[in-house]
Structures are given as C-alpha cells and as structure tokens.
A and B are shown apart, each in its own frame.
Chain A
Amino acid sequence: SQQGEEDPQALSIQEGENATMNCSYKTSINNLQWYRQNSGRGLVHLILIRSNEREKHSGRLRVTLDTSKKSSSLLITASRAADTASYFCATVNSGYSTLTFGKGTMLLVSP
C-alpha cells in the first residue's frame, strides 16, 4: 500500500522560481528519500533524510522532515527547465527495508 502522499499533484512554474513539494505519510519511518523521474525513464535518487534529522541540503535541494506531523518537503531553488520531471517521496518503514513510493508531483519548469 502507498505510504507517501505528495502535494501538489502537479506544479507549473517559470525558470528561476522556487518549487516546493510536500509529502505526508502514515506510519513511523526509518528514513525518507526523494527521487526524480524524467518522463518514462528510471528514477534518480536525490536525497535521503533520516528520522532523527530535521533538515538536509544538497546543492539547490533542501529537504525538511517533521516526524511529529509525519510530513516532509522538498524545495528546489532557482528552478531550471531541466528540473522538469516527476518527483516522488519514498518512505522506509522502521523494521522493513523496502521503499514505498508516494503518488508523486509532476513539475513543469517553463523557460
């Protein structure tokens, strides 16, 4: 069963703007990961945040995790057309080492 629910389902912005995607989940987790998928292709791992971390940065990406609210957000700063893709959060439950993906956010960045 799906664990994460992304919000919004679709997001359309201009190049240079920031994009924020949110993910909510239902059960306790070991960690939460974000992946990007370009149209009809494989997924690329972006960032992993552990349950005892609150914020993590990687280049133009910033991820936050609030375990009390069971939610995470992914911020992409200064978006580029090449950031156009679907973004999925994936949770790893405590005691179960597999990824459960959310429904994803489709991001469109227009030049």
Chain B
Amino acid sequence: DTEVTQTPKHLVMGMTNKKSLKCEQHMGHRAMYWYKQKAKKPPELMFVYSYEKLSINESVPSRFSPECPNSSLLNLHLHALQPEDSALYLCASSLAHFSSYEQYFGPGTRLTVT
C-alpha cells in the first residue's frame, strides 16, 4: 500500500467554523508533512512531524493546529480561518525525516473559506 489518503476532498467553511482535515498512511513512514498550495503556486511547507513529534513549524498562524495521534494519522485542525486561507492542503509522508527520502503525497483537500 503506497497511498496517502486525505479527507475530505473538498471543504467549505465559514470564518467562525471549526473543522479538521485528516491524513492517513499505512506505509510505516515515520515522517509526515502538511503543505499549503495556492492556485498556480508551488506547495509551501507548514508542519513536519517526525516520530509523532512536531519537529518543524514554518511560522504558521495559530488558527492552524496540527496533531499526530499515532504514526499513521495526521490531522490539521482549523479554527477562525480567513478567506486568504483558501487553498489546496496537501499531506505527505516519507520513510523518515531525512533528506534522501522521497515524499509521498495525498490528493489534497480543497478548502474554501467564506
């Protein structure tokens, strides 16, 4: 199984809502990542989890709250978002958080904030 799954595929939320994005992999990978991608732009790293611990936070606003309940799951909790947070949110995983490993990406969640 070389797949990273993400739910939901699409999400529309108001600025006062609380929602969560979910990501799952069963490849035994110990590093997981959240990226944000705006239209016609490259992905930008948000968070890195290594062995279920947050190792990198790229100065992401606190309205985005990541969580890694176990080695297979990664969540991104959303609260009080702004319209400019509308984007494709991509989850990825790799064998470990080392430079020589390729990353496997999920299909993404298309988020629209109204």
Contacts and interface: CB of A to CB of B under 8 A. Distances in A.
Contact of A40 (B41, B44, B88): B88
B102 A41 contact: no
Interface residues of B, number: 24
Contact of A42 (B4, B41, B102): B4
Interface stretch (B12-20, B67-75, B78-86, B93-101): B93-101
SS class, residues of chain A in contact with chain B: strand
B100 A31 contact: yes
Contacts of A41: 107-108
A48 interface: yes
A72 B106 CA distance: 26
A44 B2 CA distance: 11
6 contacts: A42-B90, A42-B106, A42-B107, A43-B103, A96-B99, A101-B44
